[in-house]
Chain A
Amino acid sequence: MSTTIKLGPVTRVEGHLDIEVTVGSVGGKQQVLSAKSAGTMFRGFEMILKGRDPRDAAFYTQRICGVCPISHGMAASLALEAAFGIQAPDNGRIVRNLVLGANYIQSHILHFYHLAALDYIDTTGIIDMAPWTPRYVTTDMASGSPAKDLVNHYVLALAMRRKAHQMGAILGGRMPCSPVFVGGGETEPVTAGAIADFRALLSELRNFIDTVFIPDVQTVGQIFPEYYAVGKGCGNLLAYGVFDLDAAGTRKLLARGRLTGGQLTTVNTGQIKEYVKYSWYTATSGNRNPAAGVTTPQATKVGAYSWLKAPRYLNQPHEVGALARMWVNGDYRRGISALDRIVARTLETKKVADAMDNWLNELAVGGPVFKGARIPATATGIGLTEAPRGALGHWLQISAGKVGSYQIVTPTAWNASPKDDRGIMGPIEQALVGTPVKDVNQPVEVLRVVHSFDPCLSCAVHLAKPSGDGQKFVVHVEPAAV
Chain B
Amino acid sequence: MPITRRDFLKASAAVAGALGISGPLLFREQEALARTGGLPIVWLQGQGCTGCSVSLLNSIYYTTIDDLLLNTVDLKFHPNLSAAAGSTAIGAAEAAYGKGGFALVVEGAIPTADLGKACYVWPGTTLLAAVKRYYLRASLLMAVGTCASFGGVSAGKPNPTLAVPLKQVVGGKPVINIPGCPAHPDWVVGTIAYILKNGKAPALDAYGRPKDFFGAKVHDKCPRRSSYVGPGHHSGGRPCLTCHEAGDLSPSRIPSAALSGTGCLYPMGCKGPSTYCDCPTRRWNGAARATPGVNWCIGAGSPCIGCTQPNFPDGMSPFLSAAATTDPAAVPTGGPGVDDEGGDD
Contact = CB atoms under 8 A, between A and B. Distances in A.
Interface of A: 5-16, 18, 40-44, 47-48, 52-53, 55-56, 59-60, 63-67, 69, 110, 114-115, 118, 123, 127-136, 152, 155, 158-159, 161-162, 165-166, 168-177, 179-180, 182-184, 187-189, 197, 299, 368-375, 401, 443, 447, 458, 464, 466, 470, 472-477, 479, 482
Contacts of A41: 46-47, 118-120
Contact of B293 (A16, A135, A169): A169
Contact of B158 (A63, A470, A476): A470
A42 B86 contact: no
Nearest to B146: A63
B233 interface: no
**Chain A interface mostly:** loop
A10 B85 contact: yes
A63 B49 contact: yes
18 contacts: A9-B89, A14-B80, A18-B120, A48-B153, A56-B318, A59-B319, A65-B50, A66-B48, A114-B81, A169-B284, A170-B294, A174-B297, A179-B300, A183-B254, A188-B300, A188-B301, A375-B252, A475-B117
Given A162-B57, A166-B286, A475 B114 contact: yes
B297 A179 contact: yes
A136 B74 CA distance: 19
B268 to A, nearest CB: 9
Contacts of B169: none
Given A43-B161, A166-B286, A168-B285, 10 more contacts: A13-B80, A44-B160, A53-B320, A115-B80, A134-B88, A158-B65, A169-B293, A182-B320, A188-B295, A475-B114
Contact of B305 (A42, A59, A66, A134): A59
A7 B85 contact: yes
A470 B158 CA distance: 7
Nearest to A64: B49
A372 B74 contact: no
Interface stretch (B11-19, B121-129, B196-204): B121-129
Nearest to A447: B85
B53 A166 contact: no
B206 interface: no
A365 B64 CA distance: 34
Interface string B94-132: 000000000000000001011001111111100000000
Cβ-closest 3 pairs across A and B: A66-B51, A173-B300, A372-B256
Given A472-B158, A475-B161, A8 B86 contact: yes
Contacts of A14: 50, 80
B302 interface: yes
A173 B77 contact: no
B78 A131 contact: yes
Interface stretch (B28-36, B135-143, B171-179, B215-223): B28-36
A251 B253 CA distance: 31
A477 B58 CA distance: 35
A176 B182 contact: yes
A43 B53 contact: no
A44 B157 CA distance: 10
B49 A69 contact: yes
B120 A479 contact: yes
A166 B287 contact: yes
Given A118-B83, A131-B69, A8 B50 contact: no
Contact of B254 (A10, A132, A184): A184
Contact of A173 (B48, B118, B296, B319): B296
